[in-house]
Amino acid sequence: MPEGDTVFRTCARLHEALAGRALVAADLRWPGLSTANLVGQTVTEVVPRGKHILQRLDSGWTLHSHLLMEGQWRISRTSENPSAIAARGRVDPRRRERLDRGGRGSDDIRALLVTQEWTATGLRLGMLNLVRTSQEDTLVGHLGPDILTAGFDLQRAVANLSGPIGAALLDQRNLAGIGTMWASESLFLQRVFPWADAASLGSDVLVGVVSRARHLMTANLPHAVPTSTGIRRDGENTYVHARSGRPCRRCGTTIRVAQIGPPTRERAMFYCPTCQDGLAPGDDGGPIAPLGSR
């Protein structure tokens, strides 16, 4: 699932392409939204809220989306004649363009927002809602402090953490934006056991972990390939995330992976049992194959 820094960059691109421009066509391919008419409305801004994307319109409505596991927004120059689109008020449904080299096409499209200059295509989105801007809290009001905002409330975020620290970092109600990569990397760099109870760690340790995650995510905002090691080459950009079965870069112990979180909401947590002082609950310490091997 894309993490807060990826969503932040997505919003920045959408804002640059759409803000201040009127929609000449809009096609929302989502149950309950297919008849919504956004034509003529101007995008005022596109902002992130944790892992959520809020596209605000001058009509007082907000188009909300969440990428979940596979979603993305793509920006391209408007290729069809905008006047023809405007005359129809929609994108020609017969125009089934292949959208990437992987062969995904219009069946993956969940939203199309078309201006004279740019077209934003929402592919495989996990959520799509249209709400009054004044009612955005019905969709994002449950989120904790956004780790990437300038006014991030560190003390409130730390106070929200309870239970196993790894799961607490991933719970967007505590603080918004952290996913499995930055949780795993931050805990490793701070030498904190992911299954340790947050209350037992003390505020200084919790502040250190959250501050480390914020620092890493902020430093990676300008870059499409995230890194905690300072290296952006594939396979060298993390210490533990997606490296199960491989040697720890710090001590040489085999990196392990285990599920963390409450039932139905478990997520993968990568860690070093030596550097982070222990094995995950239920882990017998047996051999583990490198991630991706058979």
- Token pair of 149 as six digits: 């905002």
Query: What radius of gyration do the chain's Cα atoms show?
Result: 21
Which entry of 49, 51, 214, 256 is annotated as an active-site residue? Answer: 51
The number of residues making up the chain comes to 294
- Token pair of 151 as six digits: 């006014």
Which entry of 74, 191, 249, 267 is annotated as an active-site residue? Answer: 267
**Catalytic site residue 70?**
no
**Catalytic site residue 31?**
no
**Catalytic site residue 3?**
yes
Residue 287: phi and psi, rounded to 5, are: -55, 145
Name residues whose C-beta falls within 8 Å of residue 221's C-beta, 6 or more positions apart in sequence. 5, 8, 9, 148
- Token pair of 213 as six digits: 């995650």
For residues 276 and 191, the answer to whether their CB atoms sit within 8 Å is: yes
For residues 74 and 29, the answer to whether their CB atoms sit within 8 Å is: no
- Token pair of 9 as six digits: 């960059």
**Catalytic site residue 51?**
yes
For residues 181 and 140, the answer to whether their CB atoms sit within 8 Å is: no
Active site residues: 2-3, 51, 267
